Amino acid sequence: MSIKRDNVGDYYLYLTCEDCEPSEKLRLTGNEAGADFGSKTFLTLSDGTKIESPEFYRQSLNAVRSANKALSRKQYLSNGWFRAKRHLSRVHKDIANRRRDWFFKLALRLVRKYDRIAIETLNLEGMKRLWGRKISDIAFGEFALILQWTCAKYGKTLLKAGRWTATTKPCSDCGYHNKTLTLSDRRWTCPECGSHHDRDVNAAINILRVGVPWT
């Protein structure tokens, strides 16, 4: 047991226990899905379902800028500076809480529909270098942990594809490897079998096929 205080001044009591068994199993549906993360669409599932990210930080960007500006006007370490600092922390905490709430609701929605869910292992640091603040806002890593916890809680299976496993370029119908595929190609036709693919749905199908149990 531990007690912690955050930057806003709120106190939290943490209790730790070990429980390896699912606390409440959901009924099996017989469904399974691969999930492809993306910067344009948060999740694309192998059945064609697309889920957009609310991008909570972007929604609250004006409030963050206003709070930062108010803090910069205060004399350092004055009472007003501490009040402005707590207000800025409160804005960031509100963003994080809304994002986490959405993650838990989405994870529960997925485990209610699918018995097995496969996700990819991402190079998040590399993605941040490419797309910057947006990747931090989308927070793939946090969602993956919440989905793992939700699957364990309700007796569903979470699979993962290795970081270096090819999932985007192979055709999900015949296995042809499209070496000419670029990030700007959202749809493509396999020259080997003629199948027409949505780039993200094709990747999600491949992720499901190569996924191994999360450990």
- Residue 99: the pLDDT is 93
Kindly report, residue by residue over 49-74, the tens digit of the pLDDT.
999 988 888 889 899 999 989 999 99
Question: Average pLDDT of the chain?
Answer: 86
Mean pLDDT confidence for 199-207: 92
What is the spatial distance between Cα 156 and Cα 186, in angstroms, rounded to a whole number? Answer: 31
Q: Which of 10, 36, 101, 192 is catalytic?
A: 36
Which uninterrupted H or E stretch holds 206?
A: helix 199-210
**How many residues make up the chain in this entry?**
215
In the DSSP assignment, the letter for residue 152 is: H
Percentage of the chain exceeding pLDDT 70: 90
Active-site residue identified among 10, 55, 115, 200 = 200
Catalytic one of 6, 10, 120, 198 = 120
Per-residue pLDDT band for 215 (boundaries 50, 70, 90) equals low
List, in order, residues 6 or more apart from 147 with CB less than 8 Å away.
103, 107, 110, 111, 117, 119, 158
Tokens standing for 36?
């492809």
What does the pLDDT look like over 26-49, one tens digit per residue? 888 889 999 998 877 899 999 999
36 catalytic? Reply is yes
